[in-house]
Amino acid sequence: MTVDFPNKQTQGYEIAIAAGSLEGLGEKLINLGLGKKSKKVLIVSNPVIFKHYGDRTVNSLASEGFEVASLILPAGERFKTAASLQKIYDAALHNKLERSSIIVALGGGVIGDMAGYAAATWLRGLDFVQVPTTLLAMVDSAIGGKTGINHPQGKNLIGAFHQPRLVWTDPEVLKTLPAREFRAAMAEVIKYGVIWDRELFEQLSACQRLDQIRYLQPETLYLILVHCAKAKAEIVSKDEKEGNLRAILNYGHTVGHAIEMVTNYRKFNHGEAVGLGMVIAGAIAVELGFWQQSDQEAQLELIYKAKLPTKLPQDIDPKQIIAAMSQDKKVDRGKVIFIMPKAIGSAIVTDQVDLDTVYKVLQI
Amino acid sequence: MTVDFPNKQTQGYEIAIAAGSLEGLGEKLINLGLGKKSKKVLIVSNPVIFKHYGDRTVNSLASEGFEVASLILPAGERFKTAASLQKIYDAALHNKLERSSIIVALGGGVIGDMAGYAAATWLRGLDFVQVPTTLLAMVDSAIGGKTGINHPQGKNLIGAFHQPRLVWTDPEVLKTLPAREFRAAMAEVIKYGVIWDRELFEQLSACQRLDQIRYLQPETLYLILVHCAKAKAEIVSKDEKEGNLRAILNYGHTVGHAIEMVTNYRKFNHGEAVGLGMVIAGAIAVELGFWQQSDQEAQLELIYKAKLPTKLPQDIDPKQIIAAMSQDKKVDRGKVIFIMPKAIGSAIVTDQVDLDTVYKVLQI
């Protein structure tokens, strides 16, 4: 499928999903006309991913005549820093990347965000290719052109919109993804079903083991990846730079971020917090009459089947959640912005959720 | 005049030039609809400029209800670094800038480039306003959306295209500009005459004291500013992201940069080196039959009248210049890219200049 931008100024790009496709990356870049002027490619990756998939990626590129250099950065959100970015710049300089050279991100969201930001800003913009290796990157962060790094005081405060020239997804690589990471990303998968794609929601409902589909049902996983990528592509095509529609992607995130903050980013990972945030946002939506109790139960069932937490731990004080929400960057003119599901496959953005209702729901 | 982009995706903007306009900045921002959501403005400036013009700028904004913070950074190219950028980010954080807040650059090219880059990347992009206070910034760097910082190994290696929402030029402020800086910028003014605007060239030819017009002929200076801004605006409108046409702006820069490098950025400032580069590029163009000797002499006359150097010092070895040129980032697939004037007001980009001819001309 492709991401096309109606304005025709931003170049559209293909999202290609195929098992075993990693070996075909070099040929694909040639077919896209990349590497015509400069054959230099810088792969940015992390140690574990590069150990598993580095050789295949490098060989695929080298066999098509690319001059490949690689930079391995430590894994994890805490390394998404100006210091890591500087290492990418230094590698770009050392390897004499030119304006027509290519940066390839081989990794998850952290690698993709940093490598994409370096590609956005080195020589004012190089071609960039996403090869996502986590479920979360495949369905979310690799698509849509958001790139950036963290500031010591906050996540993603420094960044740029820089669309990739290609998103090249090989579902085979998910077999080595840690189980908890796979489950967590399932929260975002379910999110697309709730806010955008009823058919996806039904496919997920028909699966018995959402946490195990990469081993038990690879064909279903493939279909899910296609649906999610299509949902994200449709949403960002219509709203490249986060005007309004794109905000619905934050479903579950208003409360989710607050839960992450209150638990010091330790107890839950991002996907787990978002799953909880969706449960709570859904309950608020029922409370306020935005959607039906039966839809909320169907959503809950999916989150449960993904083996994700469905209840806020007793030791978290709802008051802390409320306080954390008030500081979120999704606050606009002092009002907390909420994404409310209206039906399975449809959601709206509203600032009409009062914190009293949130507090009431959190206490249930 | 306005800078409009044919694609309609990039928002166009006005370049307003008027003596004494500094006091009207706040009102202008309101008229443009800026500050509707967030009233926060961060002014980035340098010590001397802020001492002269800071109060007027702050008062103009504050009187329209803006909440104004300011950050003063040390002046000079050597401070166009990641460390200075970090200070802007910290000020943005400290002053709680939101996505709809505004960054104003009050200064020359260094301040404009850094503040613009911070505006391009903080929260993935804030509104940005250029208030250029040097002749060079007024005619060149403030227009066109190039922003960035230096890497220890090279100038402008890190950057982004981020168009300002407004370029607000008050020629009155040029009265405090150091004389050498004024003269140096005149090289870029003459450049527009040669590569783009025959009428401008003729206006310049009619002036007796190009180095003194800010005092002797303010009306002529105004006309020159309008012509230069219009030239730059036309060129960048047609080629926002430096595809091809925009390259003609590098007239005089291929040799000019080499001269700066060979003299360790000490003997000549940028404009002086560009002036020399134009003399040499013009001589090459005559040698290769691109343009006429009489045009070259008319160009030389202007550079001389601007009190800019017109001859390479004897102690510079032409071989060093050739070596430095070979390392320039305007090298494309191993060939040195030259801008050659064809007539007064017209230039082309070519890779057909062989280094033997350059060497021959350098020895004259």
Cβ neighbours of A158 in B, within 8 Å: 89, 121-122
What is the identity of the amino acid at A50?
F
**CB atoms inside a 10 Å sphere around CB A103:** 27
What one-letter code names the amino acid at A252? G
Q: In what order do the strands lie in the sheet with B67-72?
A: B2-3, B13-17, B166-169, B127-132, B102-107, B40-45, B67-72
Return d(Cα B92, Cα B86) in angstroms, integer.
10
Q: Crossing angle, helix B109-121 and helix B82-94, to 10 degrees?
A: 60
What is the mean pLDDT of each successive set of 10 residues along chain B, which is 364 residues long? 76 91 97 93 98 97 98 93 97 95 97 98 97 97 95 91 96 95 97 97 94 92 95 90 86 93 90 96 96 97 96 92 78 76 95 89 87
Query: Reduced to 3 states, what is the DSSP secondary structure of residue A348?
Result: strand
Domain ranges in chain B with CATH number 1.20.1090.10: 179-362
Compare A258 and A243 and report the one with higher pLDDT. A258
Single-letter residue type at B248: I
Q: How far is A66 from chain B (nearest CA, A)?
A: 15
CB contact at 8 A, B57 and B43:
yes
Q: Do B108 and B133 contact (CB within 8 A), yes or no?
A: yes
Query: Which residue on chain A is closest to B118 by alpha carbon?
Result: A158
Question: Which residues of chain B make contact with A148, given a CB cutoff of 8 A?
Answer: 121, 124
Range(s) for CATH 3.40.50.1970 in chain A?
2-176
Q: How confident is the model at residue A10 (pLDDT cuts 50, 70, 90)?
A: confident
Mark yes or no for CB contact B93/A10 under 8 Å: no
- Indicate the range of A6-15, A287-296, B26-35, B40-49 predicted with least confidence: A6-15
Q: Which residues are CB-contacts of A168 (< 8 A; sequence separation ≥ 6)?
A: A16, A21, A22, A25, A28, A129, A130, A131
With CA atoms as reference, the chain A residue closest to B125 would be A160
Torsion angles phi and psi, residue B221, rounded to 5: -60, -45
Amino acid at B239: D
- Confidence band, pLDDT 50/70/90 cuts, at residue A242: confident
The yes-or-no verdict on residue A330 having pLDDT over 60 is no
C-alpha span between B38 and A346 (Å, rounded)? 30
Question: Mind telling me how many Å the CA of A160 is from chain B's nearest CA?
Answer: 5
Facing residue for A93 by CB, picked from B82, B151, B333: B151
Token digits of residue A264: 């010091």
| pLDDT at site B35 | 87
Q: What is the pTM of this model?
A: 0.91
Using CA atoms, how far apart are residues B141 and B159, in angstroms rounded to an integer? Answer: 13
- Burial letters for B154-193: b for 16+ Cβ neighbours within 10 Å, e otherwise? ebbbbbbbbbbbbbbbbbebbeebeeebbbbbbbbbbbbb
Residue A11: Cβ within 10 Å count: 12
* CATH class of segment(s) B179-362: mainly alpha
Check CB contact under 8 Å for B120 and A160: yes
Q: What is the ipTM of this complex?
A: 0.88
Six-digit token pair at A278? 């969706």
Percent of chain A with pLDDT over 70: 97
Rounded distance between C-alpha atoms, residue A132 and residue A115, angstroms: 12
Residue type, B107: G
Residue (of A267, A200, A264, A192) closest to A233 by Cα position? A192
Pairing of strands B146-151, B154-161: antiparallel
At B96, the amino acid letter reads K
3-state secondary structure of A130: strand
Confidence of residue A364 (pLDDT cuts 50, 70, 90): confident
B131 Cβ partners below 8 Å, 6+ apart? B22, B25, B57, B104, B105, B106, B107, B168, B169, B170
Residue A163 has what DSSP assignment? -
> Would the pLDDT of A36 be above 60?
yes
Query: Distance, in angstroms, between B123 CA and closest chain A CA?
Result: 5
Helix (H) or strand (E) holding B147: strand B146-151
DSSP annotation of A2: E
Tokens of B151: 């890497």
Which of B102, B190, B160 is closest to A117 using CA atoms?
A: B160
Query: What's residue A153's pLDDT?
Result: 87
- What is the reported pLDDT for B242? 74
Q: To the nearest whole number, what is the mean pLDDT of chain A?
A: 93
What DSSP string runs through A247-284?
GGGGTTHHHHHHHHHHTTTTSS-HHHHHHHHHHHHHHH
Q: Which residue has the tokens 């095509």?
A: A237
Burial of B243 (0-12, 13-18, 19+ CB in 10 A): exposed
Q: Which residues of B are catalytic?
A: 124, 146, 188, 232, 242, 246, 250, 253, 257, 270
The pLDDT-based confidence of A268 (bands split at 50, 70, 90) is very high
| CATH code for the domain defined by B2-176 | 3.40.50.1970
In the chain, the amino acid numbered B83 is A
Residues B153, A94: Cα–Cα separation, whole Å: 10
